[in-house]
Structure 1
Amino acid sequence: MLTSLSIRDLAVVSALDLDLRPGFTVLTGETGAGKSILLTALGLALGDRADSGLVRPGAERGEVSLCFDLGDAPSARNWLIDNELAEADEDTCVIRRTIGTDGRSRAFINGRPATLPNLQALGRHLVEIHGQHAHLNLLQAGEQRALLDRHAGSRELASELKRIFERWKEVSERIDRLQQDASSRNARQELLQYQVNELEQLGIAGLDYRALSDEHELLANLGRVSEIGYAQLKLLYEDEQYSVNGLLAQSTHAVGELAQLSKDFAEILELLESARIQVKEAAMALRHHLDALDPDPARLAALEQRLAEVHQLGRKHQVRPEELPAHLETLRTELRSLATGEERLEHLLAERSELLSAYDAVARSLSEKRRAAAEGLETDISRLIHELGMPHGRFAVAFETDTESAPTPHGRDRIEFLVSANPGLPPRPLSRVASGGELSRISLAIEVASIAQKTTPTLIYDEVDTGIGGGVAEMVGTKLRSLGINRQVLCVTHLPQIAALGHQHLLVEKHAQDGVTQSTVRPLSMDERTGEIARMLGGLRITEQTLAHAREMLALAH
């Protein structure tokens, strides 16, 4: 539960430190005293959007701190442990949020930096806030369905159904995209298959364009190669008088004589002998290659035809000839991908069928739980609205299931809350029958009826008394007090009948100091509560009779 609330420099609050207790706590005060700022501060600490305009004029930043006892919030404790924001033996949780005049805000959970989604996720385990117009949510079909699921204890089943639906929708959208692309995919597949077949038939997969081009170059210039080759062979070795080999032999012989006269010439002699050997080897290799040359007009013609085909294919596919093998592999890859697309479509169709079967099974189970819970909810809420000043009221849940309809995130059930406020009249939709006060009472009746399913330890109601008064207000206060037996309940109210039933009473007051307005909150003693209840009863002039009435209300409440 919420044990303390601290506010610094937020709107009309300069400094506020408020300790809170279990049970039913009421907050009262004159209109405009600043009661709403408490709920605003709570909302900010629990992840609402920050507004720099909330920072008190003259201050650099506003700050809100909340402290919770986790003894009655096991789900919040588990969330903190799972997110590494608390140790297993920690019994308290402190949330702090600061807002600067520049609009920037920072959040902390147990002293560790936190994001707004963190605050919002944790807040759902700790506090449930019902604003002034929360009862209007009852007019929405989604809210009515959610309330029934909560009462039925089927929220996990509803979440599972939504998860299946979202996957079914995703798969269906992918199927639609694949089917829409089917015609263009088929045309592309036919073109690719033709291109692959053409390239494969011409042996492009094993094409070595560089080797093919080199061989053609050699055969096309065979005469020139022979002419130059034999001329160089003669120059290197075969000219007996002027060949390189003959000249080296002469030089080797002369230097050999020098080497016999001085060892300084020995190294030069070795270099000359080595050069002569290499010239001889080069000449032998050259002769070998020249002797192997064999003019082959047929081979040359075949090479020219092959190169012509390759160049034509390169132009056709808009790639260089040497890139054709890689291009063929690219076409093969795309063709396989298109074939895989067809397989993927078949796989997705099978998966969608399985998901639809799973969806139908969960939807049936959910419908069964909802129908079973609807009967009990009708009985409980009808009884409670009788107690809340609608003695002839009757609450009903209209339930319709269309098993042939398309899947939706919430199932195939159409759920609508109906009410009859007067005897003899059939139940009709809330939006057509219920007044604001009746909606408030029905909303409260649902809260009381579903309290056993709630795990949130702190419930906050902002002016739940909208549209009611008199004895009905006292009944509403009694129900809020009963909620406070097992939960911490805070209620902002303008009705003395409700205020008198609180276990604790907090007064919100507004003061002007040095021309600056400030709001404060303080707990009231029993005597002070008498005065506040009398103010709420009597207005400007408080008589002894008004005070006596206030004392009587407090005495009866306690």
Structure 2
Amino acid sequence: MWQHLRLSSLGVIDSAELELSAGFTVITGETGAGKTMVVTALGLLRGDRADLGLVRQGADQARVEASIGVRAGAAAISAVEEAGGRIDDDVVILGRVLSAQGRSRALAGGATVPAALLAEVTDELVAVHGQSDQHRLLRPAEQRAALDRFAGEDFVAAAEAYAPVYARWRAVERRLDELRTHAQERARELDVLRFGLDEVAEVDPRAGEDESLKGEESRLAHSESLARAADDAHRALVGDLDATSARTTVAEATALLREAGGHDPELDALADRVFEIGILLDEVGAELGTYSEAVELDPERLATLQERRAALAGLQRKYGPTLDDVLVWAEKSAARLGELGNDDEAVAALEVERVALVPEVERLAQQMSALRREAAGRLAELVDVEIAQLSMPSARLTVQVTTSDDATPGPHGIDDVELLFSANSGMAPRPLHKGASGGELSRLMLALEVVLADRTTVPTLVFDEVDAGIGGKAAVEVGRRLARLADHAQVIAVTHLPQVAAFAHHHFVVSKDDDGNVTSSSVIRVEEAGRVDELARMLAGQEDSATAQAHARELLDLARA
């Protein structure tokens, strides 16, 4: 629901704010006062093309802003958040700024967005019906969706049964097409995979093998220098206990410290540590001797290791970069090879499934079609009753459901749905955009909205002078229907007829002030006495006429009744 609308320097309106509520809201005012600026503002917030002429003369820019309550999980929330905007307490703020220099900027949730995004966001939030509007129900998809909503629970159940069967059938068709169309590509892929897997199988790598081989190769390649270093170190540490070995030197130091022992605990502790060094030298010396004897000098083993590492490196260059990557590639390729190798079996299984799915898809589509055709007649009858009360007694609506003999089932079945209209007896029904004038189309849209009211998915409906060209009893019926429609959605209407305005729950008046230099309009909300004055002005052109005021009160009483 639209909660707040603010206009600044838009056309003749200098500044205006409208606190909008649920129910039926009407906007009235003298001709030229700027009533339609409110609808224009809504159009800008719906992504309409910016017009430089809308910026008020002398102003740098025009600005329109609205606060709109949205239900949790609405597509509008996702669209705004994906664009970088914020939604607070399920309320989205939309804005549009028009520069006097011709630039335009759109805002959603505080973020600057393309104007097209406003259209996407508001498409599920408001439907505007006006004589110059691109009406929602003029679109073929919307006409089909409207009929489907009207068709009721039986159709919903049929559509829910159809959707998964259709989706599976399309998936099977796509997979079959892929298998048949890309057979040569898959054959080439098979050859590449088989060759690669054969290469890997021939080398038969093991996880972590490259690192262990690298260490072993390094030891074999440097075995002589390793053995020589161990021997030299062994001699330097323990030797043959000659005077130059480290062990001899430590033994002498230990003996000297022991001779002086017993007189100073600190020196005794140092003597113990020197003694421990001697023990450590003995242990390290023994290990060096063992290591030296164990060093393997094997040129043949070294050559084998180098060949193995070269083979592993070749796999890593092709399928790596690491050996673990090679093993992962081999695992995935083996699985893919299994998939590709079973293409013939897959095609056969899919063909069997397709044969079973086709008649089921057609059966469910025919069921949906039958329900649509039955609902089409009921919808047309109900709309005809409504438009007859709206000063179009000879007008007729035809809801045409057509199915070609070779129709391929689509996401919504096999039908094309089109609304056709005839304004007068003897005229052949024509598409809505060709068969109705602006005023007739507006009243037809009102009739459709009334009939579809309890199934509408749009929370706000706006009607711009839907009562053009009518008066008297027909005008009363328009007002009554707008009020009835407000039981199911927020309704906002711009009107020049007091019979329509009397039925509103909330009434805004656009008043014009001209000081001879600048024309300025303001928007004010009127209550009981103010409504009587405004209705009297609309009836007689003068709000202080006692007769007009009496008539105004009579209209209000009629509306309340």
TM-score, normalisation: structure 2: 0.65
1:279-325 Cα distance to aligned partner (Å, 9 max, x none): 54445444444555676xxx53243133234225425643999x864
1:27 CA drift (Å)? 2.3
Q: Is the contact between residue 24 and residue 490 of structure 1 (CA under 8 Å) also seen in structure 2?
A: yes
- Select which of 217, 220, 231 maps to 1:216: 220
- CA 1:409–1:230 in 2, change beyond 3 Å: closer, same or farther? closer
- Select which of 322, 327, 330 maps to 1:329: 327
SS in 2 for 1:130: strand
Letter paired with 1:259: A
1:210 CA drift (Å)? 3.1
Higher Cα Rg, which structure: 1
SS in 2 for 1:411: coil
**Residues 1:244 and 2:206 are matched in the alignment:** no
Partner of 1:481: 479
1:253 CA drift (Å)? 9.1
- Select which of 198, 201, 212 maps to 1:197: 201
SS in 1 for 2:193: helix
Q: Is the contact between residue 316 and residue 323 of structure 2 (CA under 8 Å) also seen in structure 1?
A: no
SS in 1 for 2:128: strand
Partner of 1:541: none
Distance across 1 between alignment mates of 2:509 and 2:251:
126
Q: Is the contact between residue 61 and residue 98 of structure 1 (CA under 8 Å) also seen in structure 2?
A: no
- CA 1:239–1:364 in 2, change beyond 3 Å: closer, same or farther? same
- CA 1:66–1:512 in 2, change beyond 3 Å: closer, same or farther? farther
* Stretch of structure 1 that moved more, 249-258 or 415-424: 249-258
Partner of 2:80: none
SS in 2 for 1:133: coil
1:191 CA drift (Å)? 3.5
- CA 1:294–1:6 in 2, change beyond 3 Å: closer, same or farther? closer
Partner of 2:13: 13
- Select which of 355, 374, 399 maps to 1:372: 374
1:376 CA drift (Å)? 0.6
- CA 1:341–1:499 in 2, change beyond 3 Å: closer, same or farther? farther
- CA 1:232–1:61 in 2, change beyond 3 Å: closer, same or farther? closer
Distance across 2 between alignment mates of 1:273 and 1:371:
108
Note the residue ranges of structure 2 that are not aligned, 5 or more in a row. Answer: 78-86
Q: Is the contact between residue 129 and residue 461 of structure 1 (CA under 8 Å) also seen in structure 2?
A: yes
Q: Is the contact between residue 196 and residue 331 of structure 1 (CA under 8 Å) also seen in structure 2?
A: no
Partner of 1:29: 30
SS in 2 for 1:464: coil
Q: Is the contact between residue 512 and residue 521 of structure 2 (CA under 8 Å) also seen in structure 1?
A: yes
Distance across 2 between alignment mates of 1:452 and 1:260:
109
Partner of 1:417: 419
Letter paired with 2:245: V
**Residues 1:463 and 2:465 are matched in the alignment:** yes
- CA 1:213–1:512 in 2, change beyond 3 Å: closer, same or farther? same
1:443 CA drift (Å)? 2.9
Aligned pairs for 1:344-359 within 5 A:
none
Distance across 2 between alignment mates of 1:49 and 1:501:
30
Aligned pairs for 1:31-50 within 5 A:
32-41=32-41
**Residues 1:306 and 2:305 are matched in the alignment:** yes
1:231 CA drift (Å)? 6.8
SS in 2 for 1:461: strand
Q: Is the contact between residue 56 and residue 62 of structure 1 (CA under 8 Å) also seen in structure 2?
A: no
Distance across 1 between alignment mates of 2:162 and 2:27:
38
- CA 1:440–1:158 in 2, change beyond 3 Å: closer, same or farther? farther
Distance across 2 between alignment mates of 1:324 and 1:66:
57
- CA 1:383–1:338 in 2, change beyond 3 Å: closer, same or farther? same
Letter paired with 1:195: E
Distance across 1 between alignment mates of 2:312 and 2:233:
40
Quote the sequence identity (%): 24
Q: Is the contact between residue 161 and residue 359 of structure 1 (CA under 8 Å) also seen in structure 2?
A: no
Letter paired with 1:326: D
Q: Is the contact between residue 135 and residue 443 of structure 1 (CA under 8 Å) also seen in structure 2?
A: no
Distance across 1 between alignment mates of 2:258 and 2:460:
117
1:197 CA drift (Å)? 0.6
1:410 CA drift (Å)? 3.6
Q: Is the contact between residue 128 and residue 135 of structure 2 (CA under 8 Å) also seen in structure 1?
A: no
SS in 2 for 1:318: helix
- CA 1:455–1:436 in 2, change beyond 3 Å: closer, same or farther? closer
Partner of 1:140: 139
Distance across 1 between alignment mates of 2:136 and 2:6:
30
Q: Is the contact between residue 417 and residue 430 of structure 1 (CA under 8 Å) also seen in structure 2?
A: yes
1:375 CA drift (Å)? 1.4
Distance across 2 between alignment mates of 1:282 and 1:501:
108
- CA 1:143–1:513 in 2, change beyond 3 Å: closer, same or farther? same
1:19-45 Cα distance to aligned partner (Å, 9 max, x none): 999668462422x32111222455678
- CA 1:499–1:215 in 2, change beyond 3 Å: closer, same or farther? same
SS in 2 for 1:251: helix
Distance across 1 between alignment mates of 2:447 and 2:464:
16
Distance across 2 between alignment mates of 1:188 and 1:320:
12
Distance across 1 between alignment mates of 2:372 and 2:519:
52
Note the residue ranges of structure 1 that are not aligned, 5 or more in a row. Answer: 69-74, 87-93, 537-543
**Residues 1:511 and 2:494 are matched in the alignment:** no
1:399 CA drift (Å)? 1.3
Partner of 1:131: 130
Aligned pairs for 1:79-228 within 5 A:
85=89, 128-134=127-133, 138-153=137-152, 182=186, 185-200=189-204, 206-207=209-210, 208-217=212-221, 221=224
Distance across 1 between alignment mates of 2:458 and 2:276:
99
Q: How many residues align?
A: 512
Partner of 2:81: none
Q: Is the contact between residue 165 and residue 361 of structure 2 (CA under 8 Å) also seen in structure 1?
A: yes
1:50 CA drift (Å)? 9.4
- CA 1:284–1:421 in 2, change beyond 3 Å: closer, same or farther? closer
Partner of 1:72: none
Letter paired with 1:255: L
Q: Is the contact between residue 24 and residue 484 of structure 1 (CA under 8 Å) also seen in structure 2?
A: no
Letter paired with 1:191: F
1:519 CA drift (Å)? 1.1
Letter paired with 1:371: R
Q: Is the contact between residue 66 and residue 94 of structure 2 (CA under 8 Å) also seen in structure 1?
A: yes
1:129-170 Cα distance to aligned partner (Å, 9 max, x none): 322234765543223223323433469779969986997799
1:393-416 Cα distance to aligned partner (Å, 9 max, x none): 443222124697555444332112
Aligned pairs for 1:283-294 within 5 A:
283-291=285-293
RMSD of the alignment, in Å?
6.1
Q: Is the contact between residue 207 and residue 323 of structure 2 (CA under 8 Å) also seen in structure 1?
A: yes
Aligned pairs for 1:265-304 within 5 A:
273-274=275-276, 276-291=278-293, 299-304=298-303
- CA 1:549–1:133 in 2, change beyond 3 Å: closer, same or farther? same
Q: Is the contact between residue 158 and residue 410 of structure 1 (CA under 8 Å) also seen in structure 2?
A: no
Aligned pairs for 1:433-452 within 5 A:
433-452=435-454
Q: Is the contact between residue 129 and residue 442 of structure 2 (CA under 8 Å) also seen in structure 1?
A: no
Distance across 2 between alignment mates of 1:65 and 1:493:
22
Distance across 2 between alignment mates of 1:411 and 1:281:
89
Q: Is the contact between residue 28 and residue 508 of structure 1 (CA under 8 Å) also seen in structure 2?
A: yes
- CA 1:131–1:153 in 2, change beyond 3 Å: closer, same or farther? farther
